[in-house]
Structure 1
Amino acid sequence: MREKRQAGVGPSPRLMAGFVLLALVTVSINLRPAITTVAGVMNQVPGVFGLDPSLLPLLGTLPVLAFGVSGPIGPWLARRLGTGRAVAVALLVLAAALIVRATVPALLLPGTFLAGMAIMTASVLVPQIVKANRGTGWWTGLCTMGFGLGAALGAGLVQPLEQAFGGNLPSALAVWAVPALLGAFLIHRSGERPTAEPATASSAATSPAASATPTITGAPDAVTPLRRQRTAWAVTAFFGLQAMLYFAITSWLAVYLVSRGLAPADAAALLAWFSLAGLPASLLAPVLAGRPGILKIMAPGLGLSVAAALLGVLMAPVELQFLMVGILGVVQSAGFGLAMALVVIRSVGPQSAGRLSAMSQGFGFALASLGPLGAGLLHAMTGGWEVTFWMLAAEAVVLAGAGFFAIRGPLVSVEAVEAVEAVEAKEAPEATEVTAPPEQATTNGSKATSVR
């Protein structure tokens, strides 16, 4: 009886898993409003903040550019502080950046760049926490749905908040620091403790999931660096291309719709609808991606679907834009959900997922930074939107090709590489202090050569 009471002390694993998942979803919701709030009121920014209208394409590009240059910060910070604390620090920096850029007009551009760096730092660690807790496709789906929900809330609430604050746009932008602080508190309390014990060698051998996953025959050579693993580059290309499309759309969709004759408020509402319509798809795509038969069709098929939806938005009359924007939101959000799922599905363990996440999102967002800037420049050069939409549709076709290659080939693994590097680093000082006899040195050298 006493043993049962002692065993019941503390929260149950299921309760802990629920708390970690709640924290992850809260974090995910905070990783898009910094972008979509500005996109929803892009036409007001020059007048309110005194920004030169010619710098609007740069404003849309800055957060994505920050994503590209700050990818390594997340894993580096996690190794020093722990994953949960690293994400919490990133959200605290995000909250500060949101307040500073809204209250000091001269810091609008630097604050936006800093917000992008904070978002990226937190974003790359989400798949690592999911993998460490052995989260299912539903975990990834709920997190990606959180991204979409945050984007929709940012775009849809910015103008109502502006009215609630008496027409004060800076206050409507700064208020998003509050949910960022909440996310920092939750993930700080839950991000360090896996809710499931890591599988041992014996349990992994007898686990049905282990027998169903080609972790031995499908895993790459243990000493292959990440940059030489073709699956890692295919996942990176898929992530970057879908992100380029997403940020180009969210940066300029409202401006395009205004050019078609919609009122700015209606255009902002359709931008919010773009994100809302995709929420179910962002939830279900990672779940469906866990089925190999569906994944073979989904990965390339989503790219072709995005291309068709973009052309639909371009050619449809104003009366059908609600439908066409909704379809575009569904296929675009499904693409993002699949990109996040591929990081988890196509990696061997938590460290591999973290490194692949940093690589795919780092290089991917560096590529994606060209989306808003390129779309804006094409529009400025041509004076219309036809060339811009056709170019985005062509990019979506390339996305289909990246999806085709991302689901083939060996799994991504860096754990063994990191273990070898750690052993070599540990033994290096000893080798400098002790001089081995010639025979022993020869033997050790041959062994080292055979291992390599």
Structure 2
Amino acid sequence: MEERRRAGTAPLGLGARLATGMVLLALVMVSVNLRPTITTVVGVMNQVPGVFGLDPALLPLLGTLPVLAFGVSGPIGPWLARRFGTGRAVALALVVLALALVVRVLVPVLLLPGTFLAGMSIMTASVLVPQIVKANHGTGWWTGLCTMGFGLGAALGAGLVQPLQHVLGGSLPWALAVWAVPALIGAILIHRSGGAAADAATSSPTGDASSTIVGRRPAEPLRKQRTAWAVTAFFGLQAMLYFAITSWLAVYLVSRGIAAAESAALLAWFSLAGLPASLLAPVLAGRPGVLKILAPGLGLSVALALLGVLAAPSELQFLMVGILGVVQSAGFGLAMALVVIRSDGPQSAGRLSAMSQGFGFALASLGPLGAGLLHTMTGGWDVTFWVLALEAVVLAGAGFFAIRGPLVSVEQAPAPVEPGTEATLVG
């Protein structure tokens, strides 16, 4: 009898592991789709005016539109998740992303609106990734694989767009539109496997689909929770640094006498060098003792790496740019991990993700503009790099406060009860 019982339960265990693996695969596939929209265009920006008839003066706007869309569309993801379920919300966002990628290049007049819509779709999916991780009790490896997926998608988008253009007979529109295919694959995977646990967690205020708590009061609004603001500040500052660095690093290196092609290669190296760090940072963050050092330490490391790039001779830039890529990517991995670690449930993770990424990317959009203005005003790069290093020190402070204080919660909290009464669990 015992042997039969074991034989009957073994397949269930295997099925559960398979289902968990499918959720993780779906999340990684979603993450890979959330950066090529930006990096594919950046890699062929010089061709855009001629192919799509865009005024060259609007090229900076084209590069900034996705980040601006990130900043205004943060609340859409949680709203869609409450209405349709988390998996369906992410799948819908990826379907809209695929349509936007096709329409913006096949109908040239829609290049700018389509890019903005693509940015909104990316943000809608992005803010729900931590919610699904939290609902599935994902470890730091889950967050790490997702953040590495972001970096991998960015690298693939930048590196493959020109080879794809060559394979597709020199057609830039089709080389950009083909990225709709992995978006649709991601939509299918996440719809079939990725949202079940998160949907169950969001079906009741307590995160338990089978019960409702009576006699509870609403949690304190996110805007009044200091941990939420510290996590948001950390996310926004690291994103601001990232976009400032990626926008101007190659230009700075050229000003140091490095050839344009080599400078572009160093910018690609900046992204590739950081991939392992974006995987490992969330894993290490799962250890409280390490997290206490990691959160503020990364900000200080970014500051030192920026000053190292500023001071290093051309011969050492490969090393210094690589170090900067490692610590900067680790900062992004930690920012995503903090959303999961510092929230007390799936709903809280989703709301904190929307707040931190929404406000964070709105702040990040100022990074390239601010760095460029400082360079123009001073006629050099010293002040720009020192200001960015100072910002990284502020990032360290945000990390210090983000790991202290109470967990972020939007769940219902127990209400004060009169003597002789108590909250009742029904369901």
Normalising by the residue count of structure 2, what TM-score does the alignment of the two structures yield?
0.86
Number of equivalent positions: 400
CA contact (8 A) 1:152 1:273 kept: no
Alignment of 1:302-381 (within 5 A): 302-381=298-377
Q: CA RMSD in A?
A: 2.7
Counterpart-to-counterpart distance in 2, 1:239 and 1:344: 13
Alignment of 1:219-298 (within 5 A): 223-298=219-294
**Corresponding residue for residue 34 of structure 1:** 37
Alpha-carbon offset, residue 61 of structure 1: 1.9
**Corresponding residue for residue 16 of structure 1:** 19
CA contact (8 A) 2:85 2:199 kept: no
Deviations 1:238-282 (A, max 9, x none): 001111111222233334344445555443332222111111111
Give the alignment partner of residue 134 of structure 2, picking from 131, 134, 143.
131
Alignment of 1:176-195 (within 5 A): 176-194=179-197
Give the alignment partner of residue 64 of structure 1, picking from 64, 67, 74.
67
CA contact (8 A) 1:13 1:196 kept: no
Deviations 1:303-351 (A, max 9, x none): 1111222222233333332222211110011000110110111111111
**Corresponding residue for residue 97 of structure 2:** 94
For 1:172, give the aligned amino acid: A
Partner-residue secondary structure (3-state), 1:223: coil
The verdict on how the C-alpha distance between 1:295 and 1:363 changes in structure 2, with shifts beyond 3 A counting, is same
Normalising by the residue count of structure 1, what TM-score does the alignment of the two structures yield?
0.82
CA contact (8 A) 1:41 1:268 kept: no
More displaced stretch, 123-132 vs 179-188: 179-188
Counterpart-to-counterpart distance in 2, 1:47 and 1:256: 27
Alpha-carbon offset, residue 23 of structure 1: 0.4
**Corresponding residue for residue 161 of structure 1:** 164
Counterpart-to-counterpart distance in 2, 1:228 and 1:12: 42
CA contact (8 A) 1:134 1:196 kept: no
CA contact (8 A) 2:240 2:367 kept: yes
The answer to whether the aligner puts 1:390 opposite 2:386 as a matched pair is: yes
Partner-residue secondary structure (3-state), 2:114: helix
The verdict on how the C-alpha distance between 1:42 and 1:384 changes in structure 2, with shifts beyond 3 A counting, is farther
The verdict on how the C-alpha distance between 1:102 and 1:266 changes in structure 2, with shifts beyond 3 A counting, is farther
CA contact (8 A) 2:86 2:199 kept: no
Counterpart-to-counterpart distance in 1, 2:49 and 2:360: 29
The verdict on how the C-alpha distance between 1:47 and 1:248 changes in structure 2, with shifts beyond 3 A counting, is farther
Counterpart-to-counterpart distance in 2, 1:36 and 1:281: 20
The verdict on how the C-alpha distance between 1:97 and 1:196 changes in structure 2, with shifts beyond 3 A counting, is closer
CA contact (8 A) 2:347 2:411 kept: yes
**Percentage identity across aligned positions?**
83
Alpha-carbon offset, residue 9 of structure 1: 6.4
Counterpart-to-counterpart distance in 2, 1:91 and 1:83: 13
CA contact (8 A) 1:61 1:373 kept: no
The verdict on how the C-alpha distance between 1:174 and 1:320 changes in structure 2, with shifts beyond 3 A counting, is farther
Alpha-carbon offset, residue 152 of structure 1: 1.4
